[in-house]
Amino acid sequence: MDSRMERIAEKVRRGERVTREEGIYLFSSPDIHAIGEIASRVCERKNGDRAYFIINRHINPTNICVNRCKFCAFSKDRGDALAYEMTMEEILERTEEAKRQGATEVHIVGGLHPDWPFEWYLQMLKEIKRVAPEIHIQAFTAVEIDYFSRISGLSLEEVFEKLLDAGLGSLPGGGAEIFSPSVRNRICPEKISGERWLQVMRVAHRMGIRSNATMLYGHLESVEDRVDHLLALRDLQDETGGFQAFIPLAFHPKNTEIERGYTSGLDDLRTLAVSRIILDNFDHIKAFWIMVGEKIAQLSLLYGVDDIDGTVVEEKITHAAGALTGEEMSVDEIVTLIKQVGKVPVQRDTLYNVVRVWN
Ligand code: V47
Ligand code: SF4
């Protein structure tokens, strides 16, 4: 370790926070071993030798979206040959299949549909709860929540009250992208601002609704933009304590309007590890194996990560953009992958209650 890295390691050992400048230094350093050592110490302090996973199922009810973000290969215009809308029956079939496979969670996000009314989403939650009352519904990014408020004319609080009544359990972390207004304007000009994303989460947390947070990286953002994004999340977490996990999302370029290559393994590992170091008030850092691949996800467990998400089953967003992974991992595969790095596989539910320890 060079002397600057030593000083950061020492600070973190004492439980002190890293500054913006130190964050920028970490994101610029190729010394992945030093960064990993610091991050894994933070992770062990918080989670011991546990590595979490969940049996879940992703459902994306429609890809028709009025925003058409430039990094998104999943969304389509109405009338496009690849546009789709699931029927309620199709959504319930997927839910019932998830239930049969032992899933404790369905993870539901989709496009901002130009015609579906807010009541359609409420109906969907109620129907899911009818066929699978015990399943936790983690659904709707802050972007969708803001859209519901606009199409219904209701306040954020009223939207959340209705969603909770209908069966919503918690919010996923999508839609955060990168908060920097200039980059955001170039990659997703129609999307709500970073400030608004944070405000939706603030309101959710105040109402007792837990959520995750994400950051899309590897497109046009700078290292400074990444650090500022993480610091904004750290500030909101200080205020509300409502975030559970942070998930960095590796940009996939295929079929998008942003010309870039795939992120490197080094950048994926470093982004996960530096996030672990900067976000000292988040309990969990998650590597979404679909995006970084099974092998980087496995290695990341030695670089500050304590969660590799879940069985997933069907994944459309990253696969539309050229994901190199499969769409499903079995519990056996996940458990093996965790055991191979000497960690204890812990099956969790959405709120990180232990379902089963796989000794
Ligand atoms: O908001 C879209 C991202 C997100 C691309 O909360 C892309 O546990 C990479 O947020 N390349 C949706 N990423 C997925 C998401 C998520 C996934 C897994 C777990 C959780 C969680 C949340 O996917 C979008 C956007 O940021 N995305 N296009 C792309 N080309
Ligand atoms: Fe729509 Fe979300 Fe894709 Fe943006 S990222 S176009 S909001 S589905």
Mean pLDDT of the chain: 97
CATH of the domain at 18: 3.20.20.70
Per-residue confidence band for 56, with pLDDT thresholds at 50, 70 and 90: very high
Supply the pLDDT for residue 43.
98
Pocket test for ligand 1, best of 140, 214, 307 (most atoms within 8 A of CB): 214
Tokens 């404790």 belong to residue: 104
Supply the pLDDT for residue 312.
93
Neighbours of 241 (CB within 10 A): 12
pLDDT per residue as tens digits for the range 228-239: 999 999 999 999
Per-residue confidence band for 255, with pLDDT thresholds at 50, 70 and 90: very high
Domains in the chain: how many in total?
Answer: 1
Supply the pLDDT for residue 307.
98
> How far is the centre of ligand 1, averaged over its atoms, from the C-alpha of 261 (Å)?
17
Supply the pLDDT for residue 359.
84
> How far is the centre of ligand 1, averaged over its atoms, from the C-alpha of 8 (Å)?
31
pLDDT per residue as tens digits for the range 302-347: 999 999 999 999 999 999 999 989 899 999 999 999 999 999 999 9
**pLDDT at residue 1 is higher than 90:** no
> How far is the centre of ligand 1, averaged over its atoms, from the C-alpha of 291 (Å)?
9
What is the pTM (predicted TM-score) of this model? 0.98
For ligand 2, whether the C-beta of 171 sits within 6 Å is: no
Cα separation values, 333 from 53, 225, 298, 313, 318, Å: 11, 35, 11, 13, 21
Supply the pLDDT for residue 231.
98
Ligand nearest the Cα atom of residue 67: 2
pLDDT per residue as tens digits for the range 15-32: 999 999 999 999 999 999
Ligand nearest the Cα atom of residue 287: 1
Which atom of ligand 2 lies nearest, measured to the CA of 71?
A: 5
Sheet holding 211-217: strands in order across?
A: 211-217, 243-250, 284-285
Mean of the pLDDT values across residues 53-73? Answer: 97
pLDDT per residue as tens digits for the range 189-232: 999 999 999 999 999 999 999 999 999 999 999 999 999 999 99
Residue 89's contacts (CB-CB under 8 Å, 6 or more residues apart) are none
Which atom of ligand 2 lies nearest, measured to the CA of 177?
A: 5
Which atom of ligand 2 lies nearest, measured to the CA of 63?
A: 8
The two beta strands, 211-217 and 284-285, are: unpaired
From the list 150, 222, 143, the residue with the least C-alpha distance to 190 is 143
**Helix-helix angle 3-13:20-28, to 10 degrees:** 120
> How far is the centre of ligand 1, averaged over its atoms, from the C-alpha of 249 (Å)?
6
Ligand nearest the Cα atom of residue 174: 1
For ligand 1, whether the C-beta of 171 sits within 6 Å is: no
> How far is the centre of ligand 1, averaged over its atoms, from the C-alpha of 174 (Å)?
5
Rounded to whole angstroms, how far apart are CA atoms 58 and 320? Answer: 15
Its domain, for residue 278, covers 3-357
Residue 346's contacts (CB-CB under 8 Å, 6 or more residues apart) are 50, 51, 52, 53, 354, 356, 357, 358
For ligand 2, whether the C-beta of 70 sits within 6 Å is: no
To the nearest 5 percent, what fractions of the chain are helix, strand and coil? 45, 15, 40
For ligand 2, whether the C-beta of 75 sits within 6 Å is: yes
**pLDDT at residue 250 is higher than 90:** yes
> How far is the centre of ligand 2, averaged over its atoms, from the C-alpha of 72 (Å)?
6
Cα separation values, 9 from 234, 272, 304, Å: 19, 17, 14
